[in-house]
Amino acid sequence: MNGRKRHPGEEKAEAEKKKKLKVTQHQGHPHGLYNQGATCYLNSVLQVLFMTTEIHGRLDAESQTTDRELRKVFEQLEEAPCETKNFTRSFEIENVYQQRDAAECLELILHRVSPKVSEVFQGQLTHTTTCSEGHSINEETNSFWTLPLSLKDAHDAPYTYSVESGFKMIFQTKSFSEDNLVYCNGCQKKTGATSGCEMEKHPQILTLLVKRFDLDPVTMSHVKSNRCVDVPRALQSKNKEYKLYGMVNHVGSLRGGHYTATILSKEDDTWYEFNDVHVNKVQKQPFAKTSSYNSSTAYLLVYRGEITQVQKESIERQGKMGKDGIQEEEDAKQDTVSNFNEDREDDLSQQRPGNLTTAEEREQSVIPVEDDATNDERCPSPRSSTNIKIGISIGFGFALIVIISVIVTYLHKP
C-alpha cells in the first residue's frame, strides 16, 4: 500500500499503462483491478468474490443494494482490467489512501448485499453446555460468515501451524471439573459439565480467518505474526467436504503491508496470483504434488463445499418458492447474524492493520437492531440472565429502603 498522492504526470503515465495492459491481455486470462492508492484490500476481496460463481446468478441488477455495483464490477472483469471508483464511492470510502482490513471489508460487503447473496457464505454454530447428570445448562445457536483461527493459543507456537487442527479445535469438547465447576439449575448446585460446538448449518462457502494481527500483552500494542501455516487443500466437517479455491494474503508489516489474492480459476484449473492490476499464473502451482500448502502470508482461506444431489434438489425447490416467503426467511436469518462467540468482534478489530471503521460503528450504520419476536424467541445468554437478576435485586433493595423510612417516620411521631 502506498499513501503518497500521485502527480498529474504520473496519472497520465498510469493511464497509458492501462491502455497497454488492455491490449496485451491474453484472451481467457483473468483480469486485474486498478489500485486507487491503498485499495489492495478491496481488490483482493473482490477477486475472490468474482471467482465465487455461486453468487453471480443471485446478484440483483435492479436492486438498490451493493448487488448492482458488484455486478457491474464482475461484468467489467469479464472483459478487461477495471476501476473500482464507483464501488468505493457507493461504499462511502472517501480516503482511498487509508489502509483497511480485508476481513472487515469482506464482512462489510456481505452485510450490504442482498440476503440471497450473503447466505452462500453463512453458516450456523450451536454451542451447548451439559452437566454431568445430563441437564442442559445452556444452548445457543449463532450465525457466522468467517471463522477465526488463533495462532496465539496454539501449543506448537515455534512450529508450523496446522489449519486443519485449528479448525477441528473449534469443535473439541471442553470439560469443567474440580475448581472449574458450573452452576446447574436442574441440579440446584455447582457441578461438572461439558461444553461443545457443532456446525448446525454448513455454509456453501466456508471462510477461515487466520488471526495474524493480535494484541501483545507486554507492549499493549498490536503486532503481526508471520508464522507459517499449513493450509490443507480439503477440509472435512462431518459429512461435508470443502475444497480450497481462494486465499487472501497479507505481506509486509502491520502498518505498511500489502494484500494480494491467490485463486484457483475454474476455466483452466490453474492457480493465479492477483496483485491489483497484475495477474499471473503461480509459478509453482500449490497442491500440485502435495495435499497441503505452506504459507507465512495466508490471511483469509476460502473453501467451496461439495454439493450433493440432495442439496441440488433443495436449491431447486427453494428457487420455486414465492418471493415473499424467501424474503421473510432471509430477513429472519439476517437479524440473527452474529459472531460465533462473545469475542468475535474483538477478533476482527484486532485484525485491523490501520485505522479502520470500528465494528460497533459498522453495525450501527449497516444493520439497525430491532426488538422483534425473533429476538425474543432466542435462548437467553448467561450474561442476560445475570442482568435480569441484578435488576430484580436493585428493585427489591429500593422497596426495602422505602418501607424502613416509613416505619422510622411513624415511630418518631409525637
Does any domain span residue 343?
yes
Q: Can you tell me the distance from the alpha carbon of 101 to that of 355, in angstroms, rounded to the nearest whole number?
A: 9
- Which are the contacts of 260, defined by CB distance < 8 A and separation ≥ 6? 40, 44, 248, 249, 251, 273, 274, 275
The whole-number pLDDT of residue 56 equals 96
The whole-number pLDDT of residue 334 equals 46
Does any domain span residue 261?
yes
The whole-number pLDDT of residue 289 equals 87
Angle at 116 between CA 111 and CA 120, to 5 degrees: 80
Cα-trace Rg, the chain: 25
The parent domain of residue 325 ranges over 8-376
Domains of the chain: total? 1
The whole-number pLDDT of residue 375 equals 30
Does any domain span residue 392?
no
Q: Can you tell me the distance from the alpha carbon of 363 to that of 349, in angstroms, rounded to the nearest whole number?
A: 13
Does any domain span residue 173?
yes
CA atoms within 13 A on the CB side of 369: 9
The whole-number pLDDT of residue 353 equals 44
Does any domain span residue 14?
yes
User: In tens digits, what is the pLDDT along the chain, a chain of 414 residues?
Assistant: 444 455 555 555 555 544 444 433 445 689 999 999 999 999 999 999 999 999 999 998 888 779 999 999 999 999 999 999 999 999 899 999 999 999 999 999 999 999 999 999 999 999 999 999 999 999 999 999 999 999 876 555 568 999 999 999 999 999 998 888 999 999 999 999 999 999 999 999 999 999 999 888 888 888 899 999 999 999 999 889 999 999 999 999 887 899 999 999 999 999 999 999 999 999 999 998 899 999 999 999 999 998 766 666 665 665 555 445 445 444 544 444 434 334 444 544 444 444 333 333 333 332 222 233 233 322 233 333 334 344 445 555 556 665 666 565 655 555
Q: Which residues, in sequence order, are bridge partners of residue 236?
A: 241
Predicted TM-score of the model (pTM) = 0.71
The whole-number pLDDT of residue 158 equals 66
Question: Looking up cell 473482490, which residue turns up?
Answer: 46
- Which are the contacts of 412, defined by CB distance < 8 A and separation ≥ 6? none
Does any domain span residue 413?
no
What are the E-state strand segments in 26-116? none
Does any domain span residue 110?
yes
Read off the C-alpha cell for 304. 467451496
Q: Give start and end residues of each alpha helix (H) in 153-294.
A: 163-169
Which region, left, alpha or beta, applies to residue 162 given φ > 0 means left and ψ of -120 to 50 means alpha?
beta
276-313 per-position pLDDT tens digit: 999 999 999 999 889 999 999 999 999 999 876 666 66
Does any domain span residue 210?
yes
- Give the CATH number for residue 320: 3.90.70.10
